[in-house]
Structure 1
């Protein structure tokens, strides 16, 4: 059964549907930037560029030096083929593009596009040229995936960035999903939540991490736009991970896995991020609930609320002012309504623009 909202494969396979160009042309020379692939050594320059872009755009999300380096690392990434750096006559990075297809995609192969331009270089035609390169390279990567499933060219855009939204719309991308950033004041009483009978909530630990990954893959199997995480991709986006704010719910009995001798098993989990670089722009400090999941067999017992309560206690103990998270506005589990009931309020939103293939 196809996940909600997925496009059924059409005739000819993804390789044919992607309509990939044989060659992806670089942005033209008259734009006055020299183009080459990004390399890991560009991480500090990329961090500087992202800081200027995010400041100019009044973004509420800021990229740390570690996160900038993370964009350029990962065994599944081919920087030479899938990235672009636009440098000026002085060698300074003024524009960048990254296209990423993650190896675990099974139901829909997604090519994520990410790019940006220094504010002083906007309005010269760099944006459309960079987007054409990203789309062309994304189509090539979808065609080369070897998978006959739906494909997607995807880009996330802050809902307030009207110029970016117009750029993607003009290129044929459509808004297909909305995500809401929410927060809850920790000055309010922390949730009084009891861990469901027979389960226990423990701090995250390294030895539980792969079991949490597998539980995540199961818990999000029915969520739109999610794909299985491989061990490499699971660890490839953890620059802001906060272990002391993360928790795992265990079933000591082994649950359905008891016959296999695998006791205890992961029933649910909450993984947090600490993004101090965001706090000045936000105007407050917060613990960020990065991932919250409950395996289907354990749903309907209040486990998610118990995990949120554990995280809130940890955030408040470290002096945070808010608990924060992001939720798919059309989440099939009704998470948006749950968070509102628990005292979370909307802060801002993000839109996923895509070309469905």
Structure 2
């Protein structure tokens, strides 16, 4: 749909004056979260992940990062339900991405302690999230298509049913893929005119700009602002990250950024290196740079004793990434789905 035919986002979002507060008969007292709540919230998040048998665990550092970012208003963007003993039993957070240009998004995140499920708490949390998400879209002032988005793990189908009941629909599917490293790793192929170098802080801004260009043709992708780009790096692994630099111009042609999620290893049963972002700018595509970056990372992972290389991929990625990963020995082992309301 052309943006010229769209009503203003403030109209399309149909934001409530206040998000619907969960009813008192649910047995919880509700308030906003603060950064000081991070340790207690971590305990709740861990209980939710364990109950859902998720194949990963968020670290305390990642929970702390939920409160970072000057664009967030914790008093309005968060909600927590505590029981009579003051223990957290449910939480919610709605956030935006400050760099959004052609699509404005509100990301919805929440969970309910397993002991408090089956009472309507989850539906109340999602109703609040939708209301606050609509407010965020309306307040953005960006008269472009809007999206309320929740990323749900396929391993926890109960969450999907709650969002479906609220009117959300599955619109995009993602696969987690892994490749064993202990049986050997391919040699890093040479690419004429391009060097694969270790990531360094002085390259980071150029990598951000390259990322915004490389992902411009990817479904749902929006530019990352400098602040958003540097946010959420508690698990960033610089020694496992690489940049492809053009010999002639010094430009960043491609990049691979990795994460080290040690808290996941006990759950998975093995240590792994995780490829967070991989991109090649359009002018350098078709020359094998993606393979060179991936194999460079595999060697770095293996050198540190990792048993697997892992990554996530949009199953309909226009660059054909899924096929590229499969050709290098990656196999799907779990998945997730983006549920949304499109506005």
After TM superposition, the score normalised by the length of structure 1 is 0.94
Residue of structure 2 equivalent to 1:223: 218
Note if contact 2:109-2:150 (Cα within 8 Å) is conserved in structure 1. yes
Asked whether the equivalents of residues 108 and 151 of structure 1 are also in contact (C-alpha less than 8 Å), the reply is yes
Q: Deviations over 1:294-340 (max 9, x none)?
A: 01000000001000111000000000000000000000000001111
CA–CA distance in 1 between the matches of 2:199 and 2:244? Answer: 9
Matched with 2:15 is 20
2:35·2:64 contact (CA, 8 Å) conserved in 1?
Answer: yes
> Is the CA contact 2:274–2:311 (under 8 Å) kept in the aligned structure 1?
yes
Deviation at 1:283, TM superposition (A): 1.4
Q: Secondary structure at the match of 2:140?
A: coil
Structure 1 unmatched runs, 5+: 1-6, 255-263
Q: Is residue 2:6 matched to residue 1:30?
A: no
Quick one: distance in 2 between partners of 1:208 and 1:310?
18
CA contact (8 A) 1:33 1:88 kept: yes
Cα deviation, 1:261-285, whole Å, max 9, x if unaligned, reads xxx1111000000001111111111
Aligned-partner Cα distance in 2 for 1:188–1:198: 31
Give the drift of 1:8. Answer: 4.3
Q: Tell me how far apart the structure 1 counterparts of residues 246 and 229 of structure 2 sit (CA, whole Å).
A: 23
Query: Which residue of structure 1 aligns with residue 336 of structure 2?
Result: 350
Aligned match of 1:260: none
The corresponding residue for 2:271 is 285
The separation in 2 between residues aligned to 1:304 and 1:191, in whole angstroms, is 13
- What is the aligned-residue RMSD (CA, Å)? 1.0
What is the CA–CA distance in structure 2 between the aligned matches of 1:135 and 1:8, rounded to whole Å? 25
Partner of 1:258: none
| Residue number in structure 2 paired with 1:239 | 234
Partner residue, 1:329: 315
**Residue in 2 aligned with 1:157?**
152
Deviation at 1:73, TM superposition (A): 1.3
- For residue 95 of structure 2, the aligned residue among 70, 92, 100 is 100
**1:25-57 C-alpha deviation (Å, 9 max, x unpaired):** 210111111111110001101111111111111
- 1:11, distance to aligned residue in structure 2 (A): 3.4
**Match for residue 257 of structure 1?**
none
TM-score by structure 2 length?
Answer: 0.98
Q: Which among 287, 306, 323 is matched to residue 320 of structure 1? A: 306
- 2-structure distance, mates of 1:330, 1:250: 28
Match of 1:142 among 137, 143, 152: 137
Q: Aligned partners of 2:126 and 2:288: how far apart in 1? A: 44
SS in 2 for 1:137: helix
Distance 1:317 1:107, change over 3 A: same
Q: Does 1:266 align with 2:261?
A: no
- Contact 2:54–2:156, Cα closer than 8 Å, also in 1: no
- Is the CA contact (8 Å cut-off) linking 1:97 and 1:116 kept in structure 2? yes
Q: Secondary structure at the match of 2:224?
A: coil
Q: How far apart are the structure 1 equivalents of 2:32 and 2:301?
A: 40
1:195·1:201 contact (CA, 8 Å) conserved in 2?
no
The match for 2:41 is: 46
Q: Is the contact made by 1:267 and 1:295 (CA closer than 8 Å) also made in structure 2?
A: yes
